[in-house]
Amino acid sequence: MISIARREAADFLYLEARLADTHAYDEWFALWTDDALYWIPCNDDVHDQRLHVSLVHEDHEGLVDRIARLKSGAAWAQDPKSRLARVVSNIELAASDDASATECVVHSTFNITSSRRGRIEVVAGRAVHRLRRTDDGLRMVSKTVLLVDNDEVMSNLTFLI
């Protein structure tokens, strides 16, 4: 029995999307658990996480650094910031393997339109979130982002994906 409802999970993903789109770095970071893993594989959707390079492979400490950098005033790749709007859709809850049902896995599809210096770019893919119910509400334990173009030549991906 999954005790996290589809509607609740969807609302969480929409909140996360809005915080990322609006560069609300601290609020976005607050959505993670301490045992977080933020993973964006490179070259393929599945590879050895240890010995194959990723686009992003960050634990809680790595996320702290990412947010500190974005807030530093010297993250030139986000100066000016990308203007962002993303659509999150095709949300599905997978059956949880957690007997206590405090966690669930959510599959979704996203499409981010970014605008920077007169150029419109699209970043699209599928995401897999593992959400956990905590005293503070739902939090992200892991987020894996499978970009459709993760084996292509890419441009600026320094905003929150």
Partner 1 sequence: MDAALADLVLPDRVHSSVYTDHAIFEQEIERIYHRGWTFVGHESEIPLPGDYRTRDVGRQPVIFVRSSDGEVRVLMNRCSHRGAVVCPYERGNAGFFTCAYHAWSYRNTGSLAVVPYDERYSDDFDKTLLGLRPAPLVGRYREFVFVCLSADGGSFDSYLNAGARRELDLFTDIAPGRRVSVTAGTHKYAYDGNWKLQVENNLDAYHFNFVHRSFWQIQAKRSGVRMDALGTGTSVGRIRDLGNGHVAWDYRPLNVKVGPRAISGDTRTPPVQAEYYAALIAAHGTEKTAELMTAAPAHAFIFPNLALIGSQIRVLRPQRVDRTEVHVYPSLLVGASDEVNERRVRAHEAFYGPAGGGATDDFEIFARVQKGLQSQVDPWVLHNRGVGHEEIDADGFVSAQITDELGSRAVFRRWRDVMSGAS
User: Least CB distance from residue 27 to partner 1, whole Å?
Assistant: 20
Binding of partner 1 by 34 (CB under 8 A): no
- The H or E element that residue 13 is part of is helix 6-21
User: Least CB distance from residue 73 to partner 1, whole Å?
Assistant: 8
Give the binding range for partner 1 (CB under 8 A) out of 7-15, 59-67, 84-92, 102-110: 59-67
User: Least CB distance from residue 123 to partner 1, whole Å?
Assistant: 10
Nearest to 126 by CA among 111, 142, 115, 140: 111
Pick 6 or 47: Cβ nearer partner 1: 47
Amino acid found at 38: Y
Which of 2, 77, 124, 128 is the binder for partner 1 (CB under 8 A)? 77
Question: Cα 117–119–123 angle (5° rounding)?
Answer: 120
Give the binding range for partner 1 (CB under 8 A) out of 2-10, 18-26, 49-57, 95-103: 49-57
Q: What is the C-alpha to C-alpha distance for residues 30 and 60, in angstroms, rounded to an integer?
A: 11
CA distances from 22 to 35, 45, 65 (A): 25, 27, 19
